[in-house]
Amino acid sequence: MTELLTVDDLTVEFTRGGAAVRPVRGVSLTVAPGEIVGVVGETGCGKTLTGLSVLGLLPPGARASGSVRLDGREIIGAPPSVLRDLRGRQVAMVFQNPGTAFDPVRTIGAQFDRVIRAHRGGSRGRAREHAERLLRDVELADTGRVLRAYPHQLSGGMLQRAMIALALSCDPRLIIADEATSALDVTVAQQVRRLLLRLQSERGFGVLFVTHNLAEAYDLCDRVYVLYAGQVAETGPTAEVFDAPAHPYTRALLDALPRADRAGTTLTALPGTVPSSVLAVTGCVFANRCPRAEETCEHSPPPPAAVTASRTAACHFADTGGPA
């Protein structure tokens, strides 16, 4: 299969207080054309930095190593002009807070005009027609009002739709969505998920879908990567990973969720926290919280190993579905 996106052994490093911190440590992932791929995990596990690496938009001071290839072109170390070109034509982003993606002092219409004409050229009139088509595509029927409006005059849900429309304006092959529904009301979030699924199936772009919400990843993603402390704990087809997690961390996350059949019971809570200095950990980074940890876990870090043909887990004692 020719991948649209191939991230290989990505590491992101900062220097904080004279010491190195490495929030992303050897992440590898792929997105095929037309695939929706989830990146899930708890706060600080490196989801956003991974997404930003693909866009070549890491914060100042960040050093990325490894390889990020979009349609075969290397992003790490690429000159700014190449990155701008990629962002215009190949990859677009949808963030959590649509309010900050738009310039507050310019109308939505002016911002569409600028982006569309920068990418496709053409007249103002043509750009406007294109913008209207895009807005109808994201189910914002009253296109005139939306284009005339300033960002603060639209609801959060309308703004998020507008941002998706803006992302689509360059006909990207890959969309990076980072907590795209997290700031929205439940019913609006569901509409945005549906919209993304519909657009994706119509247009066939790939999606790297970053979320802390396991339930929405379950609904939306073909495959999922579960991150813990900057590393991929487990990956595989979403339904398989969620129905039969192979990594103790994935299992712990799912066990912690309140569910109808757990009402009134004590939830299985994961004790402890991520080690404050993961670089000081010599063995498995999950060992201090893992209910299955054994002696070996303290000393040797588990490499990602195949669980089935399509699944891997980084655990010495990954659950392979066989008899325990």
Partner 1 sequence: MILDVQDLLVRFPGVTAVDGVSLSVAENECFALVGESGCGKTTLARTVLGLQRPDGGTVAIAGTPLAGLRGRALRRLRAQVQIVFQNPYAALNPRMTAGRLVDEPLRLAHPDAGRDDRRRRAEELFDAVGLTGTHRSRYPHELSGGQCQRVAIARALAVGPRLLVLDEPTSALDVSVQAQILNLLDRLRRTRGLSYLLISHDLAVVRHLADRVGVMRAGRLVEQGPSAQLLDAPQHPYTKALLDAMPGRGRAALLADTIEAS
Ligand X SMILES: Nc1ncnc2c1ncn2[C@@H]1O[C@H](COP(=O)(O)OP(=O)(O)OP(=O)(O)O)[C@@H](O)[C@H]1O
Contact residues for partner 1, defined by CB under 8 A: 42-43, 185-187, 189-190, 193-194, 197-198, 212-216, 218-220, 239, 252-253, 256-260, 262-264, 266-270, 273
Residues 174-213 that bind ligand X (CB under 6 A): 212
Shortest distance (Å) from residue 156 CB to ligand X: 10
- CB burial of 103-137 (b: ≥16 within 10 Å; e: otherwise) equals eeeebbbebbbebbeebeeeeeeebbebbbebbeb
Contact between 96 and Mg ion per CB under 5 A? no
Give how many residues touch ligand X by CB under 6 A.
Answer: 15
Instruction: Please say which residue, 2 or 266, places its beta carbon nearer to partner 1.
Output: 266
Neighbouring C-beta atoms of residue 171, cutoff 10 Å: 12
Residues 21-80 that bind Mg ion (CB under 5 A): 48
Residues 209-268 that bind ligand X (CB under 6 A): 212
Concatenate the DSSP letters of all residues of 248-260 into one string. Answer: HHHHHHHHHS--G
Q: Which of ligand X, Mg ion, partner 1, none has residue 190 at its interface (CB below 5 to 8 Å by kind)?
A: partner 1
Concatenate the DSSP letters of all residues of 130-171 into one string. Answer: HHHHHHHHTT---HHHHHHS-GGGS-HHHHHHHHHHHHHTT-
| 24: CB partners within 8 A, 6+ apart | 10, 11, 12, 46, 49, 50, 53, 230
From the list 91, 287, 311, 312, which residue makes contact with ligand SF4 (rule: CB under 6 A)? 287
Contact between 276 and ligand X per CB under 6 A? no
Residues 62-81 that bind ligand SF4 (CB under 6 A): none
Neighbouring C-beta atoms of residue 175, cutoff 10 Å: 24
Give the start-end residues of each E strand in 238-313: 305-308, 311-313
- Stretches 40-48, 198-206, 246-254, 263-271: which one binds ligand X (CB under 6 A)? 40-48
Q: Which of 43, 41, 48, 54 is nearest to 10 (CA)?
A: 54
Q: Cα 37 from chain centroid? A: 8
Contact between 248 and ligand SF4 per CB under 6 A? yes
Shortest distance (Å) from residue 271 CB to partner 1: 8
Q: Which of partner 1, ligand SF4, Mg ion, none has residue 259 at its interface (CB below 5 to 8 Å by kind)?
A: partner 1
Binding residues (CB under 6 A) for ligand X: these are 14, 16, 21, 23, 41, 43-49, 59, 61, 212
